[in-house]
Amino acid sequence: MKATARPRLQRASGESRVVFAVRDGATRLADLYQRDPCRVLFPDPEPGEPPQAVLVTTSGGVTDGDRLAVEIKVGPGAEAVVTTQAAEKVYRAAHAGDHCTIDVAVTVGAAATLDWLPQETIVFEGARLKRRTVAEVAPGGALLACEMVVLGRAASGERFRSGLLLDIWSVRRAGRLAWTDALRVEGETPAGAGFGDANALATVIGVWDEPQPRLEKARALLDAADKVRAGATLVNGVMIARLLGEATAVRQASTRLLGDFRGRHLPRVWHI
């Protein structure tokens, strides 16, 4: 019997690059590139707040075979906030063994500040995602980042029983690796690996020249977190905070933590 060839499905190869730099004494957009399905919007920031970029995936989500690349640069002395329009949805893979790829490159210049605050990534049952984020922070630069993943759609009665999540983060300072971490979930959510009944994990990453006071502030805020397990530590001068629990509780706790930590509200798209 002749084997039937697997149909070739249309897949996305999107890219966005946004660069901020100081021009005439203020932070301004210096470079922009976008290729479908990646788009970048620039809403007016609140008075007194830095410029803001909102990343959009116009396809409504990603699936196996898709390749997305995001580059964010904040030049020396500049300040910016970058977020996403909505939660990123990673759909069930059409073919077992295939996966989608998201590569994120973040660069923060000397005396620059970046808040990289994407909304959560929802990994559907059977989805397969490989994501890598690399942040390069120059001396004097400051980075606050949050990455939240939700395994399965609990509100629809769905659990993550099969699929792949490989989520890798690296932070480099002055060209040297300061911290790296990889989360790999293949098959059912690993209760034995500390998840328990949790289906969501948020990681907050902070890089500053003097991180100890920020760590103490984060721990005080996390002590007041409700309905989640949370903690924070320093690794080679990089602050790492984790929040683990049910998706809604983790999002609420992360929103409060980031808002209190920053001393101002999260971007408006977080509240739509």
Choose among 124, 113, 88, 118: nearest CA to 214: 113
| Separation of alpha carbons 125 and 176, rounded Å | 37
- What local confidence, expressed as pLDDT, does residue 215 receive? 96
- What local confidence, expressed as pLDDT, does residue 226 receive? 87
pLDDT tens-place string over residues 74-89: 999 999 999 999 999 9
Neighbours of 256 (CB within 10 A): 16
pLDDT tens-place string over residues 50-109: 999 999 999 889 988 899 999 999 999 999 999 999 999 999 987 766 889 999 999 999
- What local confidence, expressed as pLDDT, does residue 1 receive? 47
- What local confidence, expressed as pLDDT, does residue 192 receive? 47
- What local confidence, expressed as pLDDT, does residue 161 receive? 84
- What local confidence, expressed as pLDDT, does residue 154 receive? 76
- What local confidence, expressed as pLDDT, does residue 156 receive? 76
Residuewise pLDDT in 10s, the chain (272 residues) = 444 445 555 577 899 999 999 999 999 999 999 999 999 999 999 888 999 999 999 988 998 889 999 999 999 999 999 999 999 999 998 776 688 999 999 999 999 999 999 999 999 999 999 999 999 999 999 999 999 999 988 777 788 888 899 999 999 998 899 999 999 988 776 654 567 788 999 999 999 999 999 999 999 999 988 899 999 999 999 999 999 999 999 999 999 999 998 988 899 999 87
User: What residue has token string 């502030």?
Assistant: 217
